[in-house]
Amino acid sequence: MRRPVKYGILGGITMSFLAGIGMVESFADRMLIDPVLNMGYLVLYGIVAVYGNMAARSEPNPLEEPSYEKGSSALAGLMTGLIAGLGAAIFVVLVDSVDMTRYFPNFRPELVEVMTFGLELIPGLVALIAVSGAAGAVGAVVLGLEASRRHRVAATVGWVLGFALFQVVVTDILDIAPALARVFYAPLGGLEWYMAVIIGAVAYFLSGRSKGKAKSVIETVRTAERWSGVRWSVYAFAGIALLLPWLVLGGIVNELLINVFLYVLMGLGLNIVVGYAGLLDLGYVAFFAVGAYGTALLTSSLSPTVTPELSWWVALPFVVGLAAIAGLLVGTPVIRMRGDYLAIVTLGFGEIVRILLLSDWLVPYFGGSQGIRQIPGIQVGPWEVSGVDPQYFVYFAAFFAGLAAFISYRAQNSRVGRAWAAMREDEDVAEAIGVSTVKAKLLAFITGAVVASFAGALFSAKVGAVFTNSFDVLVSLIILVVVIVGGMGSIPGVILGAFVLIGILGGPKSPGLLAEFSEYKLLVYGALLIYMMLKRPEGLWPSARRSRELHADELTQDAWLDKGGDFVSDGEQGAPA
């Protein structure tokens, strides 16, 4: 019974913490399933369910198969939940009895009201503890289910929550038939409870049927003849998917997609610098700024001094050239610097660029805090595409993101790509086997800068104006988080990272699908970054090479265990006999 107590206390602390920073209260405004569940409660009790689940697991012991006993694991979960609820209840009582709003603005009566389900204090606290205990027990019971049943439950919960959380997307798609949207969602937001039941039931009964089907479809396509019907149907699907943003998706989703693609673009660019070449660049936003301001100077009619008023396409090559020069200028002085010094110096470069753009000194060129306005969109024949029509602009963003993916893919195994990999592994050894590290480093900086300048050019055409506050150091760090969470050195990883983080949580200045997170997204980003570094440093979708590197020790250990080696007593590790 030590684990339930431990996880219960942790759960209580986490619940109080989430409540104390105001997360529960502000999320409570967002209804998920109309009268029953709001997002605040989902977060609060979801955590308890996770802790309950963890408490019910038997002590991890590599020598024993994990075993569950239904009754005792449910009991462990219940215990965990009750203890966690008790902890949260103590916190609520504290908030209710001592007025601390002066120092902690979130410790206010509204919080107590949310936590006690709007009841009186005592019955509310009892309800809090009871619900918490139930959540813990549910989390534990799920663990005890047999695998197929567990998948079904997971599918049910996933689909219902998906429909509830991504209400924006669903209504956006259902824009053609608003009446249908009203069937799904309550007027004040949130899935109608009967729709939740229907969706859950459908998901429960249909899940498990599709198992293995996706794999076989992929296999069919893979083995199909070049001109066979199967291939053509794939192309047809791809074509239809391409038309989606234009015909089906609404403004909000397209806007979001553009943001995601911009971050895919920058993420892939930074991935070349950090993931391939192993140079931690914390000032990457500077190149984005060069791209955006370069485009602004060359195309805008309101640019203070330089006003050639070129079209976007004519300006692009100049902007790219400018970015390449910027990459060279930043890259050369830092070429001899060690990893972490490099990080801090590039961060300094990024900040210097932003400060200079903002300063009164350069106002005659860059407009200072006023920025540069009236940047035209992208010309296509007689039309001009800008952020006003996201359903068209998204194609340009997607095209350049695709281009960046192509460049990364081709670079990865090219001569220079292998030079980067060698340099990342060990600079001295790379040098010794004839890799010119100077050249490789500069090339990495230049390629990264060029890719970022595409993003900058797109960004300025989309927004129609550039201001310095789009280029602060936070953007660099967020791009880095995208790359790391997705998987350093992995192209699909970076794309996935951008979709998950920017698309769902939101970027530094733009909300994502879960707009409620905007206040707390950096908290989540930070927590995610720490978690990933501790538990899964290779990222969500790791590149094969990287994950081999990071788990090299474990592999040798596994191999050693497989051979049945006995424990070495003198603390020597690794080398199998």
Partner 1 sequence: MLSIHVTTPPTTERSSSRRFRFNWVDSFLWFIRIFAIITIVVGLTGSIQGFLAGEGPSVEQWRDLFISSVSTGAMYGLIALGYSMVYGVLGFINFAHGEVFMSGIMVGWISATLMFENGFWDANPFAALAVILLVAMFTSTLVAVVVERIAYRPLRNAPRLIPLITSIGVSFFLQYVFAGLFGVGVNSYPPPPGNLGNDVIIFGVPIEGTKILVIGVSILAMIGLWFFVARTKTGRAMRAVAEDKEIAGLMGINVDRTIVTTFAVGGAMAGVAGLLWALLFRGVIFTTGFLPGIKAFTAAVMGGIGNLPGAMLGGVLLGLFEGMGPLLVLDGLGIPAVSQLKDAVAFAALILVLVFRPSGLLGERLGSEDRV
Q: DSSP letters along 544-557, please?
A: HHHHHHHTHHHHHH
| SS3 assignment, position 200 | helix
CB 461 → partner 1: shortest distance, Å?
A: 28
CB 522 → partner 1: shortest distance, Å?
A: 5
Q: Phi and psi of 523, rounded to 5°?
A: -60, -45
Is residue 109 at the binding interface for partner 1, with CB under 8 A as the rule? no
CB 252 → partner 1: shortest distance, Å?
A: 25
What is the token pair recorded at 57? 């697991």
- Return the sign of the alpha-carbon dihedral for residues 279, 280, 282, 284: positive
Q: Which of 123, 526, 565, 576 binds partner 1 (CB under 8 A)?
A: 526
136 vs 448, beta carbon nearer partner 1:
448
| CA torsion, ordered 505, 465, 327, 545, to nearest 10 deg | 20
Q: What is the DSSP letter of 174?
A: G
CB 279 → partner 1: shortest distance, Å?
A: 10
H or E segment to which residue 420 belongs: helix 415-425
Site string for partner 1, 255-294 (x = CB under 8 A): -----------------------x-x--------------
CB 68 → partner 1: shortest distance, Å?
A: 27
Is residue 525 at the binding interface for partner 1, with CB under 8 A as the rule? yes
CB 487 → partner 1: shortest distance, Å?
A: 13
Near partner 1 in 334-393, by CB under 8 A:
335-341, 343-345, 347-349, 351-352, 355-356, 358-361
CA distance 233 to 225: 12
CA atoms within 13 A on the CB side of 395: 14
Q: Are 468 and 365 in contact (CB under 8 A)?
A: no
CB atoms within 10 A of CB 138: 19
Q: Phi and psi of 39, rounded to 5°?
A: -65, -35
| SS3 assignment, position 31 | strand
400 vs 520, beta carbon nearer partner 1:
520
429 vs 544, beta carbon nearer partner 1:
429
CB 166 → partner 1: shortest distance, Å?
A: 24
CB 185 → partner 1: shortest distance, Å?
A: 29
User: Interior CA angle at 489 toward 486 and 495, to 5°?
Assistant: 40
Site string for partner 1, 79-108 (x = CB under 8 A): -----------------------xxxxx--
314 vs 552, beta carbon nearer partner 1:
552
Is residue 500 at the binding interface for partner 1, with CB under 8 A as the rule? no
Near partner 1 in 417-446, by CB under 8 A:
427-428, 431-432, 434, 436, 438-439
Q: Which residues contact 167 (CB under 8 A, 6 or more apart)?
A: 185, 189, 190, 191
CA distance 303 to 288: 18
103 vs 567, beta carbon nearer partner 1:
103
Site size toward partner 1 (CB under 8 A) is 60
389 vs 549, beta carbon nearer partner 1:
549
333, with CB counted inside 10 A (0-12, 13-18, 19+), is exposed
Is residue 555 at the binding interface for partner 1, with CB under 8 A as the rule? no
Is residue 332 at the binding interface for partner 1, with CB under 8 A as the rule? yes
- Please state, in angstroms and as integers, the Cα–Cα distance from residue 551 to each residue in 139, 412, 536, 548, following that order: 30, 21, 10, 5
50 vs 524, beta carbon nearer partner 1:
524
Q: Are 285 and 475 in contact (CB under 8 A)?
A: yes
CA distance 247 to 103: 51
Is residue 243 at the binding interface for partner 1, with CB under 8 A as the rule? no
Near partner 1 in 463-482, by CB under 8 A:
477, 480-481
219 vs 558, beta carbon nearer partner 1:
558
Site string for partner 1, 23-62 (x = CB under 8 A): x---------------------------------------
CB 551 → partner 1: shortest distance, Å?
A: 12
| SS3 assignment, position 384 | strand
H or E segment to which residue 38 belongs: strand 37-38
CA distance 170 to 172: 5
Which one of 143-151, 232-240, 330-338, 497-505 is the stretch in contact with partner 1 (CB under 8 A)? 330-338
Which one of 18-26, 42-50, 388-396, 405-413 is the stretch in contact with partner 1 (CB under 8 A)? 18-26
Near partner 1 in 397-416, by CB under 8 A:
none
Q: Which of 534, 562, 566, 577 binds partner 1 (CB under 8 A)?
A: 534
54, with CB counted inside 10 A (0-12, 13-18, 19+), is buried
| Contact residues: partner 1, CB under 8 A | 17, 20-23, 102-106, 278, 280, 332-333, 335-341, 343-345, 347-349, 351-352, 355-356, 358-361, 427-428, 431-432, 434, 436, 438-439, 477, 480-481, 484, 520, 522-523, 525-530, 533-534, 537, 550
